Amino acid sequence: MMRIDAILSRYGYCSRREAAGWVKRGRVTLGGEPVRSASAKADPAAVRIDGRPVEFVNGLYVALHKPLGCTCSHKEEGELVYDLLPQQWLNRSNGVSTVGRLDKETSGLLLVADDGAFVHALTSPKKHVPKVYEFETSAPIPAEAVALFASGELLLEGETTPCLPAELQIEAPCRGRLTLHEGRYHQVRRMLAAVGAPVVVLSRIAMGPLRLQDLQLAPGEWVEIDPGLFA
């Protein structure tokens, strides 16, 4: 049970101070009846706001099709991935963040959640959630790259531990797929640059059991997901 004013602010509808006004205008109901006071207590799952259940009452977990050109950051200059999301999500008291990052010039599947433990677990190197990337290069991908990436011996410039084994599929001279089990800075671009095939187009097409293709999202669109898929 939570106070109504705490529910409204916790889930990003308005500030605790503004909650009294929402209650007074009859916007908050319980069992079909307007709630009388912002200090009344209720189960958030039973409350209706403007006739609708509290949004993402058990936590916000969505898959977003990240478009090109926006940055996965709360504070950098230019267009941010958070500009694509409803302000109400950003007002939730549990901060909303992306699960890892995609570069500004990478598109594709990006998870967004307000559950710090979920975000942490999925980005932890221990979790090894497979991430599949589709890419195009400006030079042919050498056939030897398949064995090198699979070997677990590729050492990227400036690093002291080699990349975990990764699966490379060459689909055309300058096009392929790479499955990673970790997420280092600019990893796909750096791995392919290391074998002389600079990446010019990059998109993440799957994370664990989620495939962007199945979600049918246009760039900028999102859909709620079940966090249990990653348990």
Active site residues: 103
Closest CA to 145 of 177, 120, 97, 107: 177
Tell me how far, at minimum, the Cβ of 223 lies from ligand URA, in Å.
21
Query: For 48-114, what is the HEC assignment?
Result: EECCEECCCCCCCEEEEEECCCCECCCCCCCCEHHHHCCHHHHCCCCCCEECCCCCCCCEEEEEEEC
Closest CA to 205 of 171, 230, 170, 180: 180
Which residues of this chain interact with ligand URA, rule CB under 6 A? 102-103, 106, 186-189, 202
Tell me how far, at minimum, the Cβ of 119 lies from ligand URA, in Å.
16
Start-to-end Cα distance in the chain: 27
For the four alpha carbons of 151, 155, 161 and 165, in that order, the dihedral sign comes to negative
Closest CA to 23 of 45, 39, 43, 12: 39
Of 146 and 200, which has the nearer Cβ to ligand URA? 200
Tell me how far, at minimum, the Cβ of 209 lies from ligand URA, in Å.
19
Of 29 and 73, which has the nearer Cβ to ligand URA? 73
> Token digits for 19?
């909650």
Q: Which residues are within 8 A (CB) of 23 and not within 5 positions of it... i.e. 6 or more apart?
A: 4, 34, 35, 36, 37, 38
- CA-CA distance, 228 to 231, in Å (whole number)? 5
Tell me how far, at minimum, the Cβ of 163 lies from ligand URA, in Å.
11
Of 9 and 106, which has the nearer Cβ to ligand URA? 106
- Under 8 Å between Cβ of 136 and 174: yes
> Token digits for 188?
């796909």
